[in-house]
Amino acid sequence: MSRSAHPAGPRHADVLPEGHYAAPPTDLNVLDPKVWSQTVARTADGGTTVGGIEVARLAEEFGTPAYFLDEADFRARCAAWRDAFGPDADVFYAGKAFLSRAVVRWLHEEGLNLDVCSGGELATALAAGMPAERIALHGNNKSEEEIERAVAAGVGRIVLDSFQEIVRVAHIADRLGKRQRVQIRVTVGVEAHTHEFIATAHEDQKFGIALAGGQAAEAVRRALKLDGLELIGIHSHIGSQIFDMAGFEVAARRVVGLLAEVRDEHGVELPEIDLGGGLGIAYTSDDDPREPHEIAKALNEIVARECEAAKLRTPRISVEPGRAIVGPTAFTLYTVGTVKPLDGLRTYVSVDGGMSDNIRTALYDAEYTVALVSRRSDAEPVLVRVVGKHCESGDIVVKDAFLPADVAPGDLIAVPATGAYCRSMASNYNHALRPPVVAVRDGEARVIVRRETEEDLLRLDVG
């Protein structure tokens, strides 16, 4: 990401600290459609709406902090992925990004499949009526109980992550009198991050079975021998928040290489490959994500080319976007509690949530932006850090962004692109009550995950 200290600009230029942040936008009242969900708009009187409803009204009805999820945008993104890949491929939404019963129903209605990676996610998927054959079970250490529930339910595939698991799943399937469709997750020797991929030190992580050293080929050998398993393909997931297709290209080439090896050794052409998820989104105006149709075109071309070279039938492709579907569809709405200008540094704006509703900034140094959404302001931009109310100095929601200098207690500010890995990673630190998720669509708002209450907290505390 090319960031530079903001050049000489508004009055504060002389006191801006060195740092990595984008220059202030020319007009803080404009919301960049790249980072805000589709139906977010500013109103003539300076407010902001989502799904046709004023955020001030939403704050009054549902309180803050709260996540507001733009249902129309979510469905549109599902449809875009589904249509981009077409009927000869499968799109699996990665449930870990954000999962609730309503979301499962939307996915079902929009024709997507669903990845789960725990018993809890599986239970949610099944409770909301996702057909089991459209569910894939992931995870590097699935419990016997989780495997058993998945096999018994009839999930469409289990992605095997270790040698022990090959045997474990086969035994459980045998015991239940089933033949379980499985893929083997391989590590292809590429780890992709935001703007580059790393072709070394990749196997030094907990997921998958290495292609290197013939490990993956050995896993295939073992899986093909077991009656309880129907090996349908190879799986690869190379990282997250990826913008560059080069990492996928290397991954696809290596996975197809394994398919060719398997054909040569066993006379079997495995019918599917899964290229994982990890496609990036715009957290700030500096990010330029690709559209699903560009991604589909690139992946299809890469796989077709590699298969042609290896004289293999092109396998059915699947992909697993999580963040790219739900990430941009939600924002977190906060109420400003205190504003502390630190001379020569920046202004700290404290909100009524924090690392308990968005751990990504503390965990990954993630970048976000923020906007004043309850009113219009023409005050000059000041460099702010949006911080939470937790007892940690690392409790930062937005590290560097600009807000109008007159931002004040009681203002509503919103952080966009918080649909993925925010509510799903939320905690009760400091006995915070996890915020609700409110779905907004066509002038109607409805709670899909309710706010936690102190009663909820005390119910678990049985001492």
Ligand X SMILES: *Cc1c(COP(=O)(O)O)cnc(C)c1O
156, 189, 208, 276: residue in contact with ligand X (rule CB under 6 A): 276
323, 399, 434, 441: residue in contact with ligand X (rule CB under 6 A): 323
240, 284, 329, 374: residue in contact with ligand X (rule CB under 6 A): 240
- Other CB atoms within a 10 A radius of the CB of residue 49 amount to 19
The position carrying tokens 């599986």 is: 122
156 binds ligand X (CB under 6 A): no
Q: Of the listed 78, 117, 307, 391, which one is catalytic?
A: 391
278, 353, 381, 419: residue in contact with ligand X (rule CB under 6 A): 278
What's the rounded Cα separation, in Å, for the pair 122 and 115? 9
Q: How far is CA 362 from the centre of its chain?
A: 16
Residues of span 88-147 touching ligand X by CB under 6 A? 94, 96-97, 115, 138
What's the rounded Cα separation, in Å, for the pair 301 and 178? 36
Burial of 410 (0-12, 13-18, 19+ CB in 10 A): exposed
What's the rounded Cα separation, in Å, for the pair 354 and 388? 4
What minimum distance in Å lies between the beta carbon of 104 and ligand X?
16
Contact track, ligand X, 351-390, x by CB under 6 A: ----------------------------------------
Residue 152: enclosing H or E segment and its boundaries? helix 144-153
What's the rounded Cα separation, in Å, for the pair 150 and 222? 21
Q: At what angle do helices 215-225 and 163-175 cross, to 10 degrees?
A: 10
Q: Which is nearer to ligand X, 165 or 320 (CB)?
A: 320
What's the rounded Cα separation, in Å, for the pair 450 and 317? 37
208 binds ligand X (CB under 6 A): no
Stretch that binds ligand X, among 272-280, 368-376, 400-408, 434-442 (CB under 6 A): 272-280
Stretch that binds ligand X, among 4-12, 223-231, 288-296, 315-323 (CB under 6 A): 315-323
Stretch that binds ligand X, among 16-24, 148-156, 209-217, 316-324 (CB under 6 A): 316-324
Contact track, ligand X, 397-436, x by CB under 6 A: -----------------------x----------------
Stretch that binds ligand X, among 259-267, 274-282, 378-386, 453-461 (CB under 6 A): 274-282
Antiparallel, parallel or unpaired: β 330-342 and 437-441: unpaired
Amino acid letter, residue 403: L
What minimum distance in Å lies between the beta carbon of 322 and ligand X?
3
Q: Which is nearer to ligand X, 132 or 425 (CB)?
A: 425
Binding residues for ligand X, how many (CB under 6 A)? Answer: 17
Q: Which is nearer to ligand X, 95 or 315 (CB)?
A: 95
Catalytic residue status for 391? yes
Contact indicator for 190, 198 with CB cutoff of 8 Å: yes
Antiparallel, parallel or unpaired: β 412-416 and 330-342: antiparallel
277 binds ligand X (CB under 6 A): yes
157 binds ligand X (CB under 6 A): no
247, 292, 322, 353: residue in contact with ligand X (rule CB under 6 A): 322
What's the rounded Cα separation, in Å, for the pair 104 and 98? 10
Which residues, at least 6 apart from 123, have a Cβ–Cβ distance to it below 8 Å?
Answer: none
- Other CB atoms within a 10 A radius of the CB of residue 403 amount to 25
Q: Which is nearer to ligand X, 249 or 352 (CB)?
A: 249
77 binds ligand X (CB under 6 A): no
Provide the CB-side half-sphere exposure for 49 (13 A, CA): 14
DSSP assignments along 76-119, one per residue? HHHHHHHHHH-TTEEEEEETTS---HHHHHHHHHTT-EEEE-SH
Antiparallel, parallel or unpaired: β 396-404 and 381-387: antiparallel
Stretch that binds ligand X, among 19-27, 271-279, 287-295, 377-385 (CB under 6 A): 271-279
Q: Which is nearer to ligand X, 48 or 180 (CB)?
A: 180
Q: Using CB positions, name the residue nearest to ligand X.
A: 322
What minimum distance in Å lies between the beta carbon of 324 and ligand X?
6
What minimum distance in Å lies between the beta carbon of 168 and ligand X?
19
157, 237, 346, 360: residue in contact with ligand X (rule CB under 6 A): 237
Q: Which residues are catalytic?
A: 391
Interface with ligand X (CB under 6 A): 94, 96-97, 115, 138, 237, 240, 276-279, 320-324, 420
